[in-house]
Amino acid sequence: MIYPGLVLQNRYRVLQPLGKGGFGKTFEVDDGGIPKVLKVLNLEFFYTPETRQKAISLFQREGAVLSRLNHPGIPRVEPDGYFTLAEASGEILYCLVMEKIDGINLNKWMKNRDNQPITQEQAIAWLEQLSEILTQLHQQELIHRDIKPSNILLQPNGQLVLIDFGAVREITDTYLQKQAKNITGTVIISIGYTPPEQAEGQSVPQSDFFALGRTLVYLLTGQRPTSFDKDFRNGKLQWRDSAPQVATEFAGLVDYLMDTFPGRRPQTPQMIRRCLQEIITPLPPPAVTLNGTISQATAAVTPSSNSTVTQKQQSFLTQASNLVANFLVKEPSVSLWQKVQLRRTISGHKDTVRAVAIAPDGQMMVSGSYDQTIRLWELPSGKLLRTLLGHTRRVTGIAISSDGKLLASSSYDRTIKLWELPSGELLYTLPRQSGKIRYLAFSPNNRTLISTSDLEIKLWAVNASQLLQPLTGRSVSARIATFCPDGQTCIIGSLDGGLELWNPYTSTRLHTHFSRSGGITSIAFSPDRRTLASSSGKTIKIWEPHLSK
């Protein structure tokens, strides 16, 4: 048992406890007049020998990694900083002593300022600092795997420090061989910050950039990344409207960091810094205080002695900026719209309209909005027929049955509601889901409803208003699902590029195809039901399901 006054290794005197997390307890210790931090592994939440040993291995790895790194943005651990203690009870304590860094993590710092968004200039300065830290880390063939605001300390001098290396992973030959064989490794997840490939046990260095981008979104908006919707076509987080202080170019770089596919993110920390130099002229970092205030910087920027760019580097910078430009939103060509005439604008919602659907007879349109309402409109007049109330959070999806008699709606309140059309009477509310629902579709005979959410795909019996079964074995990146014309199979499209044919009633995967062009953004059957079209990236693929090709 660790307590104040205890002397460890005839060297470290315990002063006081500092905190307790899920996997460790921390204490302040004195090392010959130098304050340091003692971290003791907490094994009480690991119930099996396998998980306990894995936790011990990760803890030992953290000590070994930190002892070989030497950077002001990384806590320092001496070579003998890791040791074990045997308790009188026979229990072994696993201990790690590291440098004590004065500061506050960015999560608490944001709370101290009531989650007020930071400026673009501050974000640029911090991105440069963190990129430099990751340069040191990645050059050592290491992946942090848990970058998030609570793992970044802000020091009184305004410098950042990346902490908590408990999830760090070394890229060894064994690790690469496991990836080549698609063997899942240890899964480390921080909700809202973990990239798709890491959630599936396939971390790569670019996984750190995704988490870094999500951290910037939180700092620039004052909102958690999970509070934003994603564009179902490309998986991009729709955060920009909540950060009006951010220029399009820098927002594009942040989106570049968070691309769904690691191969389409910056490949090195140096590339991030080069993109910053090419796209934006960085301003000097403002002076920051630990209570959350930011003062205006007045010092001029002086280029460092090693900032000379060679002709070869300039060519690389140009290519990098062009790559980022591909991810920026481009205005459509005017010529495409020269012959199009706006017939009518329908307004009435008080917030973003997220979903629309037109009844099979073409006489009614249904819209769902972030204002938590569903509205029924007469076509073609645009007259509001009625407003449906019931959802308590954003409405994210709607679907109309093929006979036009039923409407299904989904919401961030994690419910699915079934309504009668055209009366708008609420018929059923399906049981609350474990994740935000993204997509809904009726079967051709309207007896079954399929839904996709952040965590699962489910099949519902419409008439009985009950769950038939979930589809197991699917990745959390699945976003779009629709029934095939036969009503016995369904197609599932995913952000990881997967297009799969399933028998949803037996939860059996029948066929799988992966697109190298990017995530599946939409799928549609032809009116004769013989052709399937899928889009991903800049390509459209045509399939003939009845011929199994």
Model confidence over 247-259: pLDDT tens digits?
998 999 999 999 9
> Lowest mean pLDDT: which of 43-52, 405-414, 540-549?
540-549
The pLDDT score that the predictor gives to residue 207 is: 93
> Lowest mean pLDDT: which of 109-123, 322-336, 463-477?
322-336
Q: Does residue 173 have a pLDDT over 80?
A: no
How far is residue 458's CA from residue 450's CA, in Å, rounded to a whole number? 6
Q: Does residue 310 have a pLDDT over 80?
A: no
Residues 403-425: tens digit of each pLDDT: 899 999 988 888 899 999 999 99
The pLDDT score that the predictor gives to residue 291 is: 58
- Whether residue 543 contacts residue 534, with contact meaning beta carbons closer than 8 Å, is answered with yes
The pLDDT score that the predictor gives to residue 298 is: 36
The pLDDT score that the predictor gives to residue 342 is: 66
What's the order of all strands across the beta sheet hosting 104-105?
A: 104-105, 152-154, 160-162
> Lowest mean pLDDT: which of 8-12, 19-23, 133-137, 404-408?
19-23
How far is residue 328's CA from residue 252's CA, in Å, rounded to a whole number? 5
Q: Is 208 assigned a catalytic role?
A: no
The pLDDT score that the predictor gives to residue 228 is: 95
Residues 79-112: tens digit of each pLDDT: 889 999 998 888 899 999 999 999 999 999 999 9
The pLDDT score that the predictor gives to residue 316 is: 44
> Lowest mean pLDDT: which of 95-99, 370-374, 388-392, 483-487?
483-487
> For the chain, what percent of residues have pLDDT higher than 90?
37
How far is residue 401's CA from residue 408's CA, in Å, rounded to a whole number? 8
Q: Does residue 54 have a pLDDT over 60?
A: yes
Catalytic option among 30, 114, 146, 231: 146
Q: Does residue 175 have a pLDDT over 60?
A: no
- Cα 167 to Cα 45, 89, 172, 187, 479, distances in angstroms: 16, 29, 15, 9, 28
The pLDDT score that the predictor gives to residue 408 is: 93
The pLDDT score that the predictor gives to residue 387 is: 94
The pLDDT score that the predictor gives to residue 167 is: 83
Instruction: Categorize the per-residue pLDDT at 321 as very low, low, confident or very high, splitting at 50, 70 and 90.
Output: very low
Average pLDDT over residues 425-444: 83
The residue type of 225 is: P
Mean pLDDT of the chain: 81
The pLDDT score that the predictor gives to residue 305 is: 37
Q: Does residue 430 have a pLDDT over 80?
A: yes
SS3 316: helix
Average pLDDT over residues 108-126: 95
Average pLDDT over residues 322-338: 44
The pLDDT score that the predictor gives to residue 297 is: 39
The pLDDT score that the predictor gives to residue 294 is: 53
Nearest to 31 by CA among 86, 85, 92, 76: 76
Q: Does residue 191 have a pLDDT over 60?
A: yes
Average pLDDT over residues 340-367: 84
The pLDDT score that the predictor gives to residue 131 is: 94
The pLDDT score that the predictor gives to residue 203 is: 87
Name residue 376's beta-bridge partners: 366, 386
Name residue 34's beta-bridge partners: 31
- Whether residue 253 contacts residue 276, with contact meaning beta carbons closer than 8 Å, is answered with yes
Spell out the domains of the chain, with CATH numbers in brackets.
7-99 (3.30.200.20), 104-290+314-324 (1.10.510.10), 353-547 (2.130.10.10)
Q: What is the CA radius of gyration of the chain?
A: 27
Average pLDDT over residues 349-355: 87
Average pLDDT over residues 474-500: 74
Tokens 């848990």 correspond to what residue? 146
CB contact burial 363-389 (16+ within 10 A = b; e otherwise)? ebbbbbbbbbbbbbbeeeeeeeeeebe
The pLDDT score that the predictor gives to residue 304 is: 38
- Cα 320 to Cα 236, 248, 273, 313, distances in angstroms: 20, 16, 10, 10
Average pLDDT over residues 345-373: 89
Q: Does residue 506 have a pLDDT over 60?
A: yes
The pLDDT score that the predictor gives to residue 545 is: 64
The pLDDT score that the predictor gives to residue 456 is: 76
Average pLDDT over residues 392-400: 89
The pLDDT score that the predictor gives to residue 463 is: 83
Neighbour-count burial of 159, counting CB atoms closer than 10 A to its CB (0-12 exposed, 13-18 middle, 19+ buried): middle
0.75 exceeded by pTM: no
Q: Which residues have a Cβ under 8 Å from the Cβ of 126 and sit 6 or more positions away?
A: 118, 160, 216, 219, 285
The pLDDT score that the predictor gives to residue 444 is: 86
What is the 3-state composition of the chain as percent helix, strand, coil, each rounded to the nearest 5? 25, 30, 45
Q: Does residue 439 have a pLDDT over 70?
A: yes
Q: Does residue 189 have a pLDDT over 90?
A: no
> Lowest mean pLDDT: which of 196-210, 271-285, 499-513, 518-532?
271-285
